[in-house]
Structure 1
Amino acid sequence: MTSVMFTNNCSLPDIKRSIAQYNQQQFVYNENIFGPLQSDSVVIVIQIHDRITYLRHLIVSLAQARGISQTLLVFSHDYYDEEMNSLVQSVDFCKVIQIFYPYSIQTHPHEFPGEDPGDCPRDMKREQALLTKCNNALYPDLYGHYREAKFTQTKHHWWWKANRVFNQLEVTRNHTGLVVFLEEDHYVAEDFIHILKLMENRCKESCRHCNILSLGTYLKTYNYYGDSKKKEALRAIKQQFIKNVGQVHPSWTFQVLPSLYQHPQKVEITPWISSKHNMGMAFNRTTWMQIIECAAYFCKYDDYNWDWSLQHISQNCLKQKLHAMVARGPRVFHIGECGVHHKKNNCESTSVISKVQQVLKSAKRHLYPDNLILTYTTILKKTKLRKGNGGWGDRRDHKLCMGMTIR
């Protein structure tokens, strides 16, 4: 039987061997230059697939970050590609380790957790599935749909990499500091480590119940005026709108306001909300140990999103719910125009990048604040318990996820 050829002329058996070798060796690049990882250093974990253009931009932004030489970058791959490997291994500004999710669609193209030809099609009715006796006929999700491998992979990968970093890697065995979670289509401000350390210290001083730090936002307008300056802020937005009339409206519009990041800058204390606080988030081993005790709430919850599953843990299992300290002036930006859910004709990242760079250029003199002002969420609405988004009804996914859990 002829082996199927994959990227860079590597066969499937070759890719599996390489992945196993990388994961077994756990080689840390540049450790001879930057020394061993300190227990309180920042570890940055980046979940990557195959979008190399975005990853290049992220790496460039990381290279410009002050304090980056003291960190460890963990690149967690679910797609093996020699060009991606070369890019990652060219990083020379800090320690680097690569880990490879071993249950990917790439390495299991015609079997679970990839797409088994004997699996039920997504939209097949349960009655029809039972008649055809497809593999997972008994386990549609709560909306009556059957699993799609491309959607389940992201949640599996997130859970595997977190377990791997906290519980399996030799280099992080004694690490007690913060672990920051990024993705390949993120972009960081040069002072993100500085802000992270300030937030960590404020947590110790003033917010013992805060267990997640969040550096990012999905908002396209960043307004950090006090109430007295709301009119000025609105005027700036109006002027920007008038300026844009007649131009092709971009899919992302970053409004750059005059006093974007004030001194001292504000951080907000708020219950962690998955859809708002999942980007550029960080937590330590103590928080992870609490999360891992609730593994079943993550692995068996009928939602293919890792962040909604984490929210489910917080609401239904944790003794102390997840509380976030959120940077009001974001230090992590989302530059991805295209991904799992979004397919556009123009997937170039340059237009978004230029807007993010303009935001940071405008804020340049306000970066590296000396201290932070705490604000608290004033409206304490009771968070409604919600049913999941589905896509995770298959018992095989539950079993695989639980099998990756390391206590």
Structure 2
Amino acid sequence: MRLRRLHKLAIAITCLLMYTMYRVTNDDNDGNQDGGVAGGANAGADHSLNVAKPVQPVKPNKGQSEEHPRVKKQDAVVIGVNHNVKEVKQSGPEVLPANPVKVRTNRTGEAERIRQAILDVNSKEEVRNLARFPTRSNASVVILVMVHKRLEYLRYLINSLRQVRDIGDALLIFSHDYYSEEINALIRTVDFCQTMQIFYPYLLQIYEKEFPGEDPGDCPRDMKRDRAKEIKCNNWEHPDKYGHYREVRFVMTKHHWFWKLQHVFGGLSATKNHKGLVLLIEEDHYMTPDAYYMLQKMYELKGSKCSECDIFTLGTYEKSRRYKDRGNTVDVLQFYSSRHNMGMALDRSTWDRLQPCVKEFCNYDDYNWDWTLQHVSLTCLKPSLSVIVPKAPRIFHIGECGIHHKGKCNAAELVKQLDSVVASSSDYLFPESLTMTPLTRALYRKMPKPNGGWGDVRDHSLCMAYGQTDATKARS
């Protein structure tokens, strides 16, 4: 009996020792995992990819059954390191949403070739023609051209720029949202001023089947929200105010427009200290020979007669192209996007003034950058933006040809007409001084309804990310 008791006691002591050793071993392992010890194999695997988490859902307003009023449709088409997206708090210090793009390194074929090519261009920041134009004056203008893929129009624009007087003092930057060797070759022929190229890093040629491109798992534009919720497509909780889901070909223009300005004013070495004007033009614009001269004369008025002026616009949408008695006259008006968005220029002080309104710009449910800018002007800025605009235009839009014309129309014929108008008006170009029309009280304009198309919180987050870091220098 005594031996049996001793045997049971020995078994109990052995079990207790084994349990104690098991707890100590597992406590050590748990401590390594929780503490994130550098060099741990599991820890390294857990933290290497840092995949983005979804942004906190934003519930749409109820009762939004209004028909989508998209009256203007545009042709459109940062490789950034992912950061975990934190929930945006409603009170206390604001936490900016992180870049929602998932950077992948396993691309192959043409998409990878393009990705490497644009990374190379953006990282080098090469300024061409420095041997011929080694310096620029303090009054130099940075001309920022938004380029898609209309080679014919871009060729006409470059030819018109070649005829612009004093263009040798400019820095001409081509900002692309489409990669084309043919377009690159054309730009390399520009020899009349300093030039460089930058590429919007989220090209659809790279992100063809994933955000910010069109993910196969995204909700179709016209799908009803109840059905989208049922099938759980990616962005089912975030239609626009009219119940429609994002359309890539429309949202990318606003993305590119905002990115290029953040990059030029903040991240680009050649321009980060530029304090003069940045002129925004597009591939389907056409310049008069005195466009550069006129812009500088208009900017001089800011220092002498119009300190409150923020925007300097070279184009008008008036059908009249009369220069006699108008070639030296400018108006000072409240900025109105549909009239003052062609050939608009701004300086760093205006851009800095807009920075507190970035969230308002990025979250506003309108896929058009110009209508969004007007919303910001009227709701976020006090006073709102003011613009100087010439009575007679110094820039023309030739891209409408073939879209709004039903009869015979081609770009070559339109350019020929414009050249004829400019030649017959040569006596009224290059005015020695400018006359400002009397300042009048701004007409009350009812704020237009947003056009929608910008309800997806991923677009909001990506837009906000442009100003946080110079993402084009990041490497995936």
TM-score by length of 2: 0.73
1:150 correspondence with 2:213: no
Contact map agreement 2:145 2:283 (CA 8 A) in 1: yes
User: Residue 186 of structure 2 corresponds to which residue in structure 1?
Assistant: 87
Are residues 273 and 262 of structure 1, via their aligned partners in 2, closer, same or farther at CA, if it must alter by over 3 Å? same
How far did residue 218 of structure 1 move? 2.1
Q: Does 1:298 align with 2:340?
A: no
1:203 and 2:302 aligned: yes
1:402 counterpart residue number: 464
Contact 1:337-1:347 at 8 Å conserved across structures: no
For the pair 1:59 / 2:121, whether they are aligned, the reply is no
CA distance in 2, matches of 1:291, 1:175: 17
SS state at 2:195 partner: strand
Give, in angstroms, the shift of residue 356 of structure 1. 1.6
1:172-321 mapped onto 2 (5 Å cutoff): 172-223=271-322, 260-262=323-325, 265-321=328-384
Q: In structure 2, do the counterparts of structure 1 residues 277 and 379 end up closer, same or farther at CA, with 3 Å as the change threshold?
A: same
State the 1:35 CA deviation. Answer: 0.8
1:97 is aligned, of 184, 196, 211, to: 196
Residues 46, 183 of structure 1: 8 Å contact kept? yes
Identify the residue that residue 365 of structure 1 maps to in structure 2: 427
What CA distance in whole angstroms lies between the structure 2 residues aligned with 1:391 and 1:343? Answer: 26
Give the drift of 1:380.
3.0
Alignment length (residue pairs): 364
More divergent stretch after superposition (203-212 vs 392-401): 203-212
Aligned mates of 1:3, 1:301 — CA distance in 2: 33
* Structure 2: 5+ residue stretches without partners: 1-105, 470-476
Q: Quick one: which amino acid aligns to residue 417 of structure 2? A: K
- Aligned equivalents of 1:132 and 1:344: distance in 2? 43
Partner of 2:49: none
Equivalent residues of 1:54, 1:184 under 8 A apart: yes
Correspondent of 1:375 among 437, 447, 458:
437
| Residue 40 of structure 1, aligned match among 139, 146, 162 | 139
1:34-90 CA-to-partner distances (Å, cap 9, x unmatched) read: 013444311000000000000000000000000000100000000000010011111
Mean CA deviation greater in 61-70 or 260-269: 260-269
* CA 312–146 in structure 1, closer or farther in 2 if over 3 Å, else same: same
What percent of counterpart residues are identical? 47
Q: Which residue number corresponds to residue 51 of structure 2?
A: none
Aligned-partner Cα distance in 1 for 2:213–2:406: 25
Query: 2:435 corresponds to which letter in structure 1?
Result: I
Query: Could you tell me how far apart the structure 1 residues matched to 2:465 and 2:107 are?
Result: 29
**1:38–1:175: 8 Å Cα contact kept in structure 2?**
no
Q: TM-score scaled by structure 1?
A: 0.85
Secondary structure of the residue that 1:369 maps to in structure 2?
coil
Please state how far the C-alpha of 1:92 moved relative to its aligned partner.
0.3
Contact 2:139 2:296 survives alignment (8 Å) = no
2:156 is paired with a residue of what secondary structure? helix
CA distance in 2, matches of 1:59, 1:106: 25
Counterpart residue identity of residue 212, structure 2: P
* 2:169 counterpart (65, 70, 90): 70
Report the 3-state secondary structure (helix = DSSP H, G, I; strand = E; otherwise coil) of the residue aligned with 2:345: strand
Give 1:32 shift: 2.1
Deviations 1:299-354 (A, max 9, x none): 00000001111111111112331100001110010000369x87989884112212
Task: Give, in whole Å, the separation in 2 of the partners of 1:4 and 1:173.
Answer: 34
Q: CA RMSD in A?
A: 2.1
Larger radius of gyration: 2
- Cα separation, 2, equivalents of 1:129 and 1:31: 55
Conserved in 2, the CA contact under 8 Å of 1:186 and 1:335?
yes
Aligned pairs for 1:159-178 (under 5 A) are: 159-178=258-277
Q: How does 1:98-117 map to 2 (within 5 A)?
A: 98-117=197-216
For the 8 Å contact 2:326–2:391, the answer to whether it is kept is: no
Classify the secondary structure of the residue corresponding to 2:437.
strand
Query: Does 369-378 or 394-403 show the bigger shift?
Result: 369-378
In 2, distance between residues paired with 1:128 and 1:343? 40
